[in-house]
Amino acid sequence: MSPDYCVELLKSLMMQVLIISSPLLLTGMAVGLVVSLFQAVTSIQEQTLTFVPKALAVVGMLFMILPWMVRTMMDYTIGIFDKLPQMVR
């Protein structure tokens, strides 16, 4: 396996990680922004108010996009197994 092929393989792996994790991260960021804005407007500085809505939103989003995530990871894994003979050369 050539170094260029290794770099392309790692690049595609990092892109898959970014694609799969971005909906969850963006959901947490958006909910955190809304909660922070709410806290600034109402002057409520409760620490659990920031954590609980973010956790619930991320878990809810995870359940909604879980089939897509699994399908994406399976497609990537199948692609890696298909490329396995090229890697051995």
Domain around 58? 3-84
Residue 39 lies in a domain: yes
Domain count, the chain: 1
Residue 66 lies in a domain: yes
Residue 61 lies in a domain: yes
Residue 89 lies in a domain: no
Per-residue pLDDT tens digits for 14-71: 999 999 999 999 999 999 999 999 988 988 888 788 889 999 999 999 999 999 999 9
Copy the structure tokens of residue 86: 């090229």
Q: What is the mean pLDDT of residues 70-87?
A: 91
Residue 26 lies in a domain: yes
